[in-house]
Amino acid sequence: MPETGKPARFLPFAQGRDLAIGDGTLLSGAVGDALLFADATTEALYLGDLNGAACLAYVADETAVAESDTSATGLRNLFDVLPPDEYAVAGLAAHLLHWQTISRFCPKCGGATQPTANAWAKTCTVCGYAPYPVVSPAVLMLIHDGGSRVLLSHKAGWGDRWSILAGFVEPGETMEECVERETREEVGLSVTEIVYRGSQPWAFPHQLMIGFTARATDPDAPLTIDETELDGAKWFDANALPNLPGKLSLSRQLLDEWLRKIAEK
């Protein structure tokens, strides 16, 4: 833990889910101050420093948060509220607090675990096994037709928002193979020209999103939609796009990059 009195940013998560924030920013304080919305037994995770301030994450008391004048909401709703660097820290906090919850016991022998010095691993007090935080890779793929059309999908609960395809990487496959498989399974298309574009941690609860673009080999082929995954998928022209994901998301970044390239042609 950093020295007492150092500037701090508090990240209290009500019941480990909803982050309490100030007016569009993380709550401020100092190391050594009483943790907001928590009692003296609450332990905070020191995540590192942001702009000279120590970042401390912890599970807060839900009632105390609700009775305060502080707003608390899920991370998905904070995309366009927190500054990008603070949102990244909040995502790390959510990931590691979830890890604390699911790593209390050893996955090998069932013994109790304890923190490991200088690492996010937990060490089993019985067999010594030291599991590290789970990171689940998933691909995002922007499928285009080689021209000005992009394939977007829709899921129940998204309202009027559409996004690019996505799916988890399975054991034994490369990320590029995952792009091919997920596109084939979800919409029945084959793709080529698969190109890596970037990645983004996604703490829902422990994904790493890996972004690609790919060209449909036959964009005029009929779509075969996997209705267990999607409730819609169709081609959109670059000049007639629907409501898209928030600008901090990797899916939106891929779309914006593709739109810039279309505009340059």
How do residues 132-176 score in pLDDT, each as one tens digit?
999 999 999 999 999 999 999 999 989 999 999 999 999 999 999
Distance of alpha carbon 141 from its chain centroid, rounded?
A: 16
How do residues 44-76 score in pLDDT, each as one tens digit?
999 999 999 999 999 998 888 888 888 788 888
Sheet strands (E) in the chain = 7-14, 18-21, 27-30, 45-50, 53-60, 71-73, 113-115, 122-124, 136-144, 149-154, 165-168, 191-202, 207-216, 232-237
Are 48 and 42 in contact by the 8 Å Cβ rule? The answer is no
CATH topology of domain 136-264: Nucleoside Triphosphate Pyrophosphohydrolase (3.90.79)
Rounded CA gap, 196 and 180, in Å?
A: 13
Highest mean pLDDT among 116-120, 152-156, 202-206 belongs to 152-156
pTM (two decimals): 0.88
Res. 22 pLDDT band, cuts 50 70 90: confident
Res. 119 pLDDT band, cuts 50 70 90: very high
Alpha carbon separation from 28 to 10, 24, 118, 183 (Å, rounded):
6, 12, 25, 44
Q: Percent of the chain, pLDDT > 70? A: 100
Domain boundaries, the chain: 7-102, 105-134, 136-264
Res. 40 pLDDT band, cuts 50 70 90: confident
β-pair partners for 150: 144, 236
